[in-house]
Amino acid sequence: MQNLTAHYNILFNAKEILRQKQVGYAASFVDNYNELLSVYPDTIAQSGTPDKDLEEAIVKANKIINIKEQSNYQGDAYLVLGKANYLEGNYFNATEFLNYVIKSYPKRPDLVQDALTWKARALMHLNELPQAKIAIDSAIQNIDPKKNKQLIADIYATKLQYDISVQEYTDGEEMAKDAISHCSDKMQRLRLNYILGQLQELNQKPADAINSYSKIASSNVSFEMAFNASLNRIRIEDARDGIKTDRTQRLMALLKEPNNKEFKDQIYFQAAELQMRDKNIDGAIKNYKLSVRNSLSNQNQKGLSYLRLANIYFKNKADYLTSKKYYDSTLTTLPLNYPGYQAIKKTNANLQLLADGYQTIAREDTLQALAKMDEKARNAVIDKMVSDKILEQEAETKAATAAASVNESNNILDNGADLLDNNSAGSNAGAKTGRVGAKSLSSSGNSGGSSFYFYNTSAISQGYSDFKRKWGNRKLEDDWRRSSRSNSDITANAVNIANTDPDALITGQPGANPKTPTAGGYRAELIKGLPLTPELLSASNIKVYHAYIDIANFYRDILGDKKEAASIYETILSRFPNDANKASIYYNLYRLYADIDKAKSDNYKNILLRDYASTPFAKIISDPDYAKKLEDENAEFTQAYNKVFDLYAQKKYSEVIAGVPQLIKQYPGNKLSAQLYYLKTIAEGHNEKVAPFTDSLQLIAKNFPDDKLVTPLVNQQLAYITANLADLQARPAILIDDNPQEIPFTLDRALRKETAYRPQVDPNTINQPQVRIDRPQQIAIEKPRQTPQITPAILPPVKQPQVIIKQVPQLPAPVQPPASQPEVIAKQPEQAKQPEVIAQQPAPVTPVTTPPVKQDTLPPPVKRDTIAQTVQQNVVIKATADGSEIKPDVVLSVFTMHDSTNYYFAVNVKSGTTNLASSRFGFGQFIRANYPGKGIKHQLLPVGADNQVIYVGRFPSLADVKKYAREVVPLLPDIMKVPKDKYSFFIISQENLNKLADAKLLDSYLDYYQKNF
């Protein structure tokens, strides 16, 4: 009886869930026909939220394992667990379950073959290609021609995917043919035929490729595949016959065919793609927009067109505001499981950072080019730039006027809609309003066959009536629901741009910002920025260099785009061949190319070992113990720094004065030298007059001009001394010994003639410096402090390249080891390092261990994490296999996103005993230097026994606290005197801060923060 219910009820339904999920994934998969297609479109980038359907399949499999333990379908249940985890993106877990099937059920060759196939696919996603080859080779060796043909087809298809991954196209062609000959699924067979055509084209077999593409073009595959197959066939035929093909013209001809009416969006998209390859940017933009306009029901196509437009306006047009809008549209149109969706989301969230970098580069390049011209040519170019700027602003004025007209039209439509309330069906005005008001919805709905509810014209009319009854006659504009608001309507009064006055406003946009530059001001700004001297040219190059570093680090650390990051680093090498930091750049390139181009990686490695053997970067490569040695050295320096700070906190100034030179001599070149000299100077200020104290401050400013933490504060203090010199000269000692944590002479008091002023640096005054992304990533490994004294927390280590230990997998023969219990590894939330929206958390390393068990011992069922009872619900919508919406998954959270005017920047330190005095002192320095007189303080909040949160604020808006975060995050290694893996930062409102009662709630908030900010 257990066999009957397990097989025909539980197992059947679980397999059906997996089948439907694969169909659904395949339906939403977006193919890139410019590259080799993926063999399997059924597993794609996951959103990180558990899938309700797959969770149900897992529950059913566990039911067989735990309740139907006497049935013969235990192995099938474990296979379901492996496949479900694979489809959910949990590839480590999937591999463990599949390994268990392979090792525990050798007498079930069908299960073993299926498990080997899925295991190989999971390993390829984990980039474990050697291990994947072992698995798929084992499956091929054990093929039984008399068994399930579809399973044989899957084995060959998986080997085909492996061959594509390692670029073995000749063998891949044979695997594709074998898979096609055994495949019983018609659509999969056609997909394999298309891939076969691509491989034959790569293998220089044009006749065979034409034959394969012809089969696709004449079949009933999707339009995209048939369309691209036809294009490829035509291209190959014309290339073979020596005909130069105008592919764009061929595409435009397809628009005239009635059968292609529903595919206009895709035709325009393909035309735009061709124009992009031909560098016709404006033509591509036009056709991408036409694609969007004609995408009535194909949301994937519309999303792709939005994405292309966003990238063009960002990279080619440098129009970041427009780019931002298109990225927003992309995110609302593409499905969450679109490959690269998370990267697009991160790019959009951090667009301003990238925009600032590219704008800096473009501006400095323009100014340098102008500086190289003779004066006559330069003035002519500047005249042209000013004229272009005027024309650009004039176009914006016209657009603004048009927008105002549209708003007026909408208001008229609202008035017309009022007639619907009076049932005046015979009224021409009312009928017209009903038609026009519904035009954008009903026309697209009817054409695209969409089932969207509000494409119903009667529903639209009813909506007009209900809205009018409740809200009255409201104009379509921002904040329409507010009865009292500042009206920023744009009038139609245009400014005469042709004004001959050189100081006439460049912009003619009504309601322009009063700070809008004038034509004369814009010209003066350009002339002032020209790097006409060697010193100015050097300063300009430094700005460009730092901007490139910021952009490269962003692609590397936030987007994880190794290819783009490597490209930017190589640009730095070509533009700055004499860069003193070339070793660091080479190390980054060595690490970035390790997984994408081994030859380039080895080349940069050899350059480091040959030309920069004495640098830490080369030593990390050649000496496996170097990182441990550096860790010990950093820990020693941290201890020594904190001892000096403790002496200062205890007012032992003479010992501070004697200890700082010894520490600097013992650790020359350490990155906290400016802070050490500053501590020494303040200690000396308690026993000396103003003149030597001023000299010491000036020496710090001179020797550390690029320091972002101490030098700005020193300059403010020098300004105060200059303004109050006579009063300060009368003091026996310039600093009065009231509070050893003082930061004297801050800017907010600098202009006041007060002789007895001595501000206190109570660890409650913190602000953040101008933020720049760190230079190429460097290693920093430190041990946590052991002594919970007054001593401040551990000093951030000297920046060195990050050590990445990668184990090269060995290639054992495909032997069947003893069975072991599959270990489930919980998927960790994605980490990031950027100031904008991602909280940094140290990611614990969980080694995979598989303790041996007896052959007849069943592993325990998978335990799923429970969610604590909460208040707010965040909804995630998913689609079933047929594309219809299912009931949303609910992610519950006690935290809220309510509008707030109380925001804080917070740093969580994973230690309940570490003394954070020196870290808070660093925050105080930054606040005094960069946010004087703003009322911003830093405070300490213990959270449970093992966490301390330094929170800085209050900030009146989310934009303000994000600006602060962007400025302070790059300086955290200098501010925080604890190891980098011991702290993380985030943004939090006062309401949510009050809820952080223990470590569990803190962890919950960090997860909530990553998903919502």
Q: Which residues pair with 820 in a beta bridge?
A: 852
- Which residue has better confidence, 305 or 220? 305
**Weakest-pLDDT range from 62-71, 414-423, 997-1006:** 414-423
Binning pLDDT at 50, 70 and 90, where does residue 104 land?
Answer: very high
Please check the confidence at residue 580 and state whether its pLDDT lies above 80. yes
Say whether pLDDT at 353 is over 70: yes
CA gap 617, 419 in Å, rounded: 76
Cis omega (within 30 of 0) on the bond before 954? Answer: yes
Q: Look at residue 467 and tell me whether its pLDDT is greater than 90.
A: no
pLDDT at position 934, please? 82
Residues 850, 974, single domain; the answer is: yes
**In a domain? residue 708:** yes
Over 60: is that where the pLDDT of 70 sits?
yes
Q: Are residues 653 and 733 in the same domain?
A: yes
Residue 500 has pLDDT above 50, yes or no: no
- On whether both 603 and 738 belong to a single domain, the answer is no
Q: Residue 899: its pLDDT value, please?
A: 59
Query: For 742, how many CA atoms within 13 A lie in the half-sphere containing its CB?
Result: 21
504 pLDDT higher than 70: no
Q: Which residues of 516-537 are buried (b: 16+ CB within 10 A; e: fewer)?
A: ebbbeebbeebeebbbeeeeeb
Do 1000 and 944 lie in one domain? The reply is yes
In this predicted structure, what is the pLDDT of residue 47?
A: 53
Q: Which residue, among 720, 736, 645, 624, has the nearest Cα to 686 in the 3D structure?
A: 736
Torsion, Cα of 562, 565, 569, 574 (10° steps): 100
Residue 929 lies in a domain: yes
Same-domain check for residues 889 and 998: yes
Asked if 554 and 350 count as a contact pair (C-beta separation under 8 A), the reply is yes
Chain mean pLDDT for the chain: 74
Mean pLDDT in residue range 926-949: 86
Residues facing 939 on adjacent strands: 951
Task: Give the pLDDT band (50/70/90) at residue 367.
Answer: very high
**Band of residue 766 on the pLDDT scale cut at 50, 70, 90:** very low
Establish how many alpha carbons lie within 13 A of residue 751's alpha carbon, considering only the half-sphere containing its beta carbon.
Answer: 3
Backbone angles phi, psi at 759, to 5 degrees: -65, 155
Give residue-wise pLDDT tens across range 1-14: 677 877 778 889 89
pLDDT band for position 89 (50/70/90)? confident
Tokens of 591: 């690490």
pLDDT at 45 (0 to 100): 53
Residue 808 vs residue 131, higher pLDDT: 131
Is pLDDT larger for residue 452 or for residue 815?
Answer: 452
SS3 content of the chain, % helix, strand, coil (to 5): 60, 5, 35
Is residue 457 situated within a structural domain? no
Domain boundary among 622, 649, 677: 622
- The total number of residues written for the chain in this structure: 1013
Indicate whether 581 and 655 sit together in one domain. no
Q: How many CB atoms lie within 10 A of CB 964?
A: 29
Least confident of 461-475, 650-664, 981-995: 461-475
pLDDT tens for residues 590-633? 999 988 888 899 999 999 999 998 888 888 888 777 766 666 66
The predicted structure's pLDDT at residue 828? 39
Given this model, what pLDDT does residue 1008 score?
82
Half-sphere exposure of 792 (CA within 13 A, CB side): 26
The burial class, CB within 10 Å (0-12 / 13-18 / 19+), for 34 is exposed
Query: What pLDDT score does 456 carry?
Result: 58
Using 50, 70 and 90 to split pLDDT, how confident is the model at 794?
Answer: very low
Calpha distance 537→370 (Å, rounded): 12
Same domain, 869 and 986: yes
Domain harbouring 739, CATH code? 1.25.40
Report if residue 723 sits inside a domain. Answer: yes
306 confidence band (pLDDT: 50, 70, 90): very high
Residues 879 and 956 in one domain: yes
Share of the chain above pLDDT 90, in %: 19
Q: Domain check: are 915 and 1007 in the same one?
A: yes
Secondary structure (DSSP) of 758-792: -----TT----------SS------PPP---SSSP
Does a structural domain hold residue 664?
yes
Give φ, ψ of 798 to 5 degrees. Answer: -65, 135
Longest dimension (CA), the chain: 103
Q: Are 855 and 104 in contact (CB under 8 A)?
A: yes
Query: pLDDT tens digit string along 903-923?
Result: 999 999 988 888 888 888 888
State whether 904 and 1011 are in the same domain. Answer: yes
Total domains, the chain: 3
User: In the structure, what pLDDT confidence band is assigned to residue 295 with cuts at 50, 70 and 90?
Assistant: confident
Indicate whether 417 belongs to any domain: no
Mean pLDDT across 152-162: 94
Lowest-pLDDT range of 31-40, 147-156, 562-571, 936-945: 31-40
Q: What is the mean pLDDT of residues 541-564?
A: 88
Tracing tokens 């079949």 back to the chain, one arrives at 219
Residue scoring higher pLDDT (848 or 667):
667
Percent of the chain topping pLDDT 70? 70
Q: Both tokens of residue 455?
A: 């494409």
Position 769 confidence tier, pLDDT thresholds 50, 70, 90:
very low
Check residue 619 and give its pLDDT: 84
Instruction: Tell me, yes or no, whether 546 lies in a domain.
Output: yes
Q: How high is the pLDDT of residue 67?
A: 84
Residue 109 included in any domain: no
Q: Is the pLDDT of residue 806 over 50?
A: no
Whether 944 and 835 share a structural domain = yes
The answer on 674 and 604 residing in a single domain is: no
Q: Which domain holds residue 729?
A: 636-750
pLDDT given at position 385: 87
Q: Which residue has the tokens 């991954």?
A: 165
- Across the range 74-89, mean pLDDT stands at 91
Domain-terminating residue out of 564, 588, 622: 622
| Dist. CA 929–CA 768, nearest whole Å | 9
